[in-house]
Amino acid sequence: MDFSFTEEQTLLRNTVERFVQDKYDFETRAKIIKSDDGWRKDYWQQFAELGILAAPFDEDHGGLGGSAIDIMVMMEELGKGLVVEPFLPTVVLGGGFLRHGGTAAHKAEVIPAVIGGECVIAPAYAEPRGRFNLADLETTAKKDGEGYVLNGHKAVALGGPWADKFIITARTSGGQRDEQGVTVFLVDKNTDGLSTRDYPTVDGYRASEVMLDNVKVSADAIIGDVDNGLELVERVMDEGIAALCAEACGVMKQLVDKTIAYSRERKQFGVAIGSFQVLQHRMVDMYLNYEQSVSMTYMVNLKLGEDATERKKAASAAKVQIGRAGKFIGQNAVQIHGGMGITEEMDVGHYFKRITMIDTQFGNVDHHMRRYAALSE
Amino acid sequence: MDLAFEQADLAFQQEVRAYLDEVLDDELRRKLSQSKNGYVDKEGQVKWHKALAKKGWVAPHWPEEWGGPGWTATQKYIFDVENARLGTPIVSPMGVRMVGPVILAFGTDEQKKKFLPPIYNGDVWWCQGYSEPGAGSDLASLQMKAEDKGDHYLLNGTKIWTTHAQWADWIFCLVRTDATVAKRQNGISFVLVDMHSPGISVKPIVTLDGPIENEQEINQVFFDDVKVPKENRIGEQDKGWTYAKYLLEFERGNTYAPSIKRAIKKIRRIAAAESDGCGGQLIEDAGFRDKINQLEIEATAMEFTELRIFAALSAGQAPGPESSILKCRGSEMQQRVSELVLEAVGVYGHPFIADTFAISNEPRPGSDYAGPAAPAYFNYRKTSIYAGSNEIQRNIIAKLVLGL
Ligand SMILES: Cc1cc2nc3c(=O)[nH]c(=O)nc-3n(C[C@H](O)[C@H](O)[C@H](O)COP(=O)(O)OP(=O)(O)OC[C@H]3O[C@@H](n4cnc5c(N)ncnc54)[C@H](O)[C@@H]3O)c2cc1C
């Protein structure tokens, strides 16, 4: 047993940490999220130069051959800075699809482009009426000669406005919620018939509704096997959850630390509010919630390689933990800041908004409680 | 004990219901459904205020001499319930519920004549200048200076978190007229200040829910050599704390249960419209239904707590620290409502709609009810902070009710 980090992992963490410290202070981020583009493309290039985008990919494709733990340490640091650039959609999810299911051609062409910062990928798996069920797909892909024709509407694709390519889940056979019949496609944004409706999100990101109107793609666009895509999707989403948990830990760490610091400084009734026992116990509970979340984040990242049932249970359990802990920590961080906590000017509110929306990403607490229960029977 | 209303009360209930339903027009209903913070825009707020004033119903707690309807406690309660049932706008409390009662209780005849009719008619907008950057929970530590200049005071300092100051014509302020006192509750005066006076500036505070311009909920107000005639002081100099505390009881003594019950109905409607991702609707999901039902049961407990308190009142008892019970439980339930709405809308909690009041031909991402869900959840964290934080309310209950 060993819970220490390798030298490479420490180096990666330090690289991201330094980037956030030097270039992603609160004011800079505020400008980024209000700008027309909503992100800094030049930062993305710098991520490429720093090797951040290469971490999980094989050395054969120009990657660093890193593990889930490499992603974990980086995501934690990105979370501390509330970095909006699309590392999770592009590298973790997009990269995951390409690594686990991509064809030799995808790997040879798309992975190097991702690593080089030239290709942003936005996975579009959710649908307006599917809630969190990854198999509930109204989007169809019908065989058309050698290729396929896609029709449908994908919801809230994070990073969509910046994407060069979408990864789209669609139904190639079976009924609307069947496990069989799900296929994954890699589609260029500028393909005829594909259009987007772009918007900011409440937590400072950008996302798109993706409309597919007779979008023709060739069979080369398929990632993984026709009709058998659901296992691949679940695997990649579980990896996404593991990374998201790490981001959440970074966010929660900030919420806890900033609240403690504020409670030392803020004086009412002639004393620091941190001296009131009721607030002390609240902050202790915030800290306990945070520590449990870190543990669960290690757990899920270490179990990503296990058989599917174990992996799924680990992911759902961790997602439940960070959902609950995030809510407790976020709400109380705001509460202890008093009026300051609900202002846009103060960073704590932005961490609160992010941790809130993390619960909805990849399925909320209720969804994962049910998934966990189904796997435990 | 008896739950049933008398015949006359039932007739009154019908009358209230019919009138409210008539004056709550489609535009107000639309704006309310899109509100991120419980208010609509100023135009809508004033429109609603005037509709009630016209009928003589805008100030149920005022004496008849000044336009109060002379209702019994039961009628007041029925009026509250009917408003909540329909989901009408909150009448901006700062005039009618806050400064109004203070002027009625402690104001001079001139002050009453000058200030009460425009408050009643909705012709002037008031805001509340209590909190300061250094004086929140510890309100008595306030420092805004009011120098005695003979016939007027000269005000210097700042007030913060001032709700709707940008719309206000007048502000009532707690100011320090004596800084040398040992007990900080002394040396405070209660003054009424014209917001159009030279030297006043208002700076918006943008809240987490991302309000659009001029729709911000709170502000910081700066006072730079602002002259206030002494005739605008309420009661005695240095005795303002007494009047301020009188007002706080009105601020906290709301009924919560009826509006929470209405909000629960709305959650049920949303859950019936959202799919559960398993071929059914979210309302069929046992876990989600449990949460709604749990909240409704707690709202019923709240309702009967309110009824008990209100029954005691009609027998002539004062509400006292009971208002803290209502404030704690009520605000926490309001927050849980906003939490469940956000949970219900699923992934469509993410899109940010800057102007939820705007009418546009372009459909929104997700349903109309999803747009305000996350902003309202963020905004409603305020309810356990303002009007005395819930920690402070619990301190009050511990001290005054439990005797600890
Ligand atoms: C949306 C909104 C609207 C408002 N509108 C107005 C308005 O119109 N006019 C106006 O005058 N004010 C207004 N307020 C101000 C409000 O009354 C204050 O925010 C409130 O009194 C808390 O003060 P504070 O923000 O300075 O927090 P602080 O007093 O600094 O409190 C910070 C934290 O410490 C806790 N704390 C403080 N003292 C104790 C204690 N003794 N024991 C345990 N815990 C303690 C608090 O509960 C809180 O969690 C508004 C506030 C909000 C959020």
CATH number at residue A146: 2.40.110.10
Nearest residue in A to B279, CA atom = A177
- Which of A211, A228, A245 lies at the terminal end of a domain, its last residue? A228
Please give the residue range of the domain that contains residue A220.
123-228
- Which of A207, A228, A249 lies at the terminal end of a domain, its last residue? A228
What's the Cα-to-Cα distance from A252 to each of A287, A324, A330, A332, A352, rounded to whole Å? 9, 12, 8, 11, 9
Q: ipTM of the predicted structure?
A: 0.97
Contacts of B394 in chain A (CB under 8 A): 278
CA proximity to A236, closest of A69, A115, A113, A91: A91
DSSP B211: P
Q: How many domains does chain A have?
A: 3
Does the CB atom of residue A305 touch ligand 1 within 6 A? no
CA B302 to mean position of chain CA atoms = 18
Q: What is the CATH number of the domain that holds A43?
A: 1.10.540.10
| Under 8 Å between Cβ of A144 and A106 | no
| Per-residue model confidence (pLDDT) at position B318 | 56
* Residue B137 Cα: closest atom of ligand 1: 29
- Which of A228, A243, A263 lies at the terminal end of a domain, its last residue? A228
- Let me know whether A332 and A249 are in one domain: yes
Contacts of B351 in chain A (CB under 8 A): 156, 199-202, 207
The fold adopted by the segment(s) B7-91 is Butyryl-Coa Dehydrogenase, subunit A; domain 1 (1.10.540)
Residues B337-365, mean pLDDT to the nearest whole number: 94
Residues A279-288, mean pLDDT to the nearest whole number: 98
Mean pLDDT over each residue of chain A, to the nearest integer: 97
Give the pLDDT band (50/70/90) at residue B99.
very high
pLDDT digits (tens, 9 = 90+) for B228-273: 999 999 999 999 999 998 887 766 567 899 999 999 999 999 999 9
- Is there a contact between A207 and B351 if contact means CB atoms under 8 Å apart? yes
To which residue do tokens 């963020």 refer?
Answer: B378
Residues B43-70, mean pLDDT to the nearest whole number: 96
Measured torsion, CA atoms of residues B91, B94, B98, B104, in degrees rounded to the nearest 10: -90
Give the pLDDT band (50/70/90) at residue B74.
confident
Residues A197-206, mean pLDDT to the nearest whole number: 98
Residue A329, phi-psi category: left (phi > 0), alpha (psi -120 to 50), beta (remainder):
alpha
- Let me know whether A158 and A260 are in one domain: no
- Is there a contact between A156 and B382 if contact means CB atoms under 8 Å apart? no
Question: Ligand 1 centre from B136 Cα, in Å?
Answer: 5
- Let me know whether A250 and A331 are in one domain: yes
CA A215 to mean position of chain CA atoms = 27
To which residue do tokens 């049933």 refer?
Answer: B4
pLDDT digits (tens, 9 = 90+) for A293-331: 999 999 999 999 999 999 999 999 999 999 999 999 999
- Is there a contact between B278 and A155 if contact means CB atoms under 8 Å apart? no
| Per-residue model confidence (pLDDT) at position B317 | 53
pLDDT digits (tens, 9 = 90+) for B184-207: 999 999 999 999 999 999 999 999
- Let me know whether A40 and A95 are in one domain: yes
- Let me know whether A224 and A238 are in one domain: no
Residue A145 inside a domain? The answer is yes
Burial A110-126 (b: 16+ CB within 10 A, else e): bbbebbebebbbbbbbb
- Is there a contact between A155 and B352 if contact means CB atoms under 8 Å apart? no
Contacts of B335 in chain A (CB under 8 A): 331
* Residue B390 Cα: closest atom of ligand 1: 47
Does the CB atom of residue B163 touch ligand 1 within 6 A? yes
The DSSP line for B316-377 is T---TTHHHHHHHHHHHHHHHHHHHHHHHTGGGGSB--S-TT---SSPPSS-GGGTTHHHHH
| Per-residue model confidence (pLDDT) at position B255 | 84
Phi and psi at A272, nearest 5°, equal: -65, 135
Identity (one letter) of the amino acid at A313? K
Mean pLDDT over each residue of chain B, to the nearest integer: 94
Given CATH 1.10.10.10, say whether it is the number of domain B252-400: no
Contacts of A360 by beta carbon, 8 Å cutoff, 6+ apart: B346, B347, B349, B350
Does the CB atom of residue A74 touch ligand 1 within 6 A? no
Q: Which of B278, B352, B378 lies closest to A201 in CB terms?
A: B352
Decide: residue B29, CB within 10 A, 0-12 exposed, 13-18 middle, 19+ buried: middle
- Let me know whether A286 and A306 are in one domain: yes
CA proximity to A169, closest of A138, A194, A200: A138
Residue A224 inside a domain? The answer is yes
Identity (one letter) of the amino acid at A332? N
- Let me know whether A364 and A284 are in one domain: yes
Contacts of B379 in chain A (CB under 8 A): 342
Size of interface A-B (CB pairs under 8 A): 140
Please tell me the distance in Å from B209's CA to the nearest CA on chain A.
8
Give the pLDDT band (50/70/90) at residue A377.
confident
To which residue do tokens 């007030």 refer?
Answer: B159
The pair of three-digit structure tokens given for residue B157, joined into one six-digit string: 């300092």
Percent of chain A whose pLDDT exceeds 90:
99
CA A114 to mean position of chain CA atoms = 16
> Domain B109-248 sits in which CATH superfamily?
Butyryl-CoA Dehydrogenase, subunit A, domain 2 (2.40.110.10)
Contacts of B43 by beta carbon, 8 Å cutoff, 6+ apart: none
**Does B336 score more than 80 pLDDT?**
yes
Percent of chain B whose pLDDT exceeds 90:
85
